[in-house]
């Protein structure tokens, strides 16, 4: 009986180490550099835009670059961003996006192998859903 419990204890310990060791090594579904077509709302205003993540470089946890937004009015806005993988959630498709120039923070969720993005919630009250 003592031997069975010892073997079971080792098995549980090995399984726990495997789970902890592979959790961080998962491939994250980072947003890619192709343009996304978006619908957005901010308060009582809504519209459409195209966003592109430019020069998003870094490592498996943090990447920095710029977010270029082209509105249907023709206005173009490019802002510096830092994107953090939200690794404590265990999701490989959930990130925190900081638009560092204006201090706006959003939860960014990717789907469909990063072909779809949702920016929600955002600290300024905005919501945005994008697809490629």
Please give the chain's pLDDT, 132 residues, in tens: 444 434 344 444 333 333 434 444 457 899 999 999 999 999 999 999 999 999 999 998 999 999 999 999 999 999 999 999 988 877 889 999 999 999 999 999 999 989 999 999 999 999 999 999
Q: If residue 43 lies in a helix (H) or strand (E), which one and from where to where?
A: none
Give the phi and the psi of residue 89 in degrees, each rounded to 5: -75, -20
Cβ count within 10 A of residue 40: 19
Determine the Cα–Cα distance for residues 67 and 44; give it in Å rounded to an integer.
23
User: Whole-model pTM above 0.75?
Assistant: yes
Q: Are strands 116-122 and 76-85 parallel, antiparallel or unpaired?
A: unpaired
């Amino acid at each position: 009986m003592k031997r069975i419990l010892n073997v079971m204890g080792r098995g549980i310990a090995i399984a726990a180490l495997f789970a902890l060791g592979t959790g961080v090594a998962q491939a994250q579904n980072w947003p890619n550099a192709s343009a996304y077509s978006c619908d957005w709302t901010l308060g009582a205003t809504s519209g459409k835009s195209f966003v592109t993540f430019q020069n998003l470089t870094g490592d498996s946890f943090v990447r920095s670059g710029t977010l270029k937004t082209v509105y249907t009015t023709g206005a173009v806005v490019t802002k510096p961003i830092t994107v953090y993988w939200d690794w404590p959630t265990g999701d490989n498709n959930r990130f925190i996006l900081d638009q560092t120039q204006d201090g706006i923070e959003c939860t960014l969720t990717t789907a469909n192998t990063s072909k779809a993005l949702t920016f929600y919630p955002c600290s300024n009250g905005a919501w945005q859903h994008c697809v490629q």
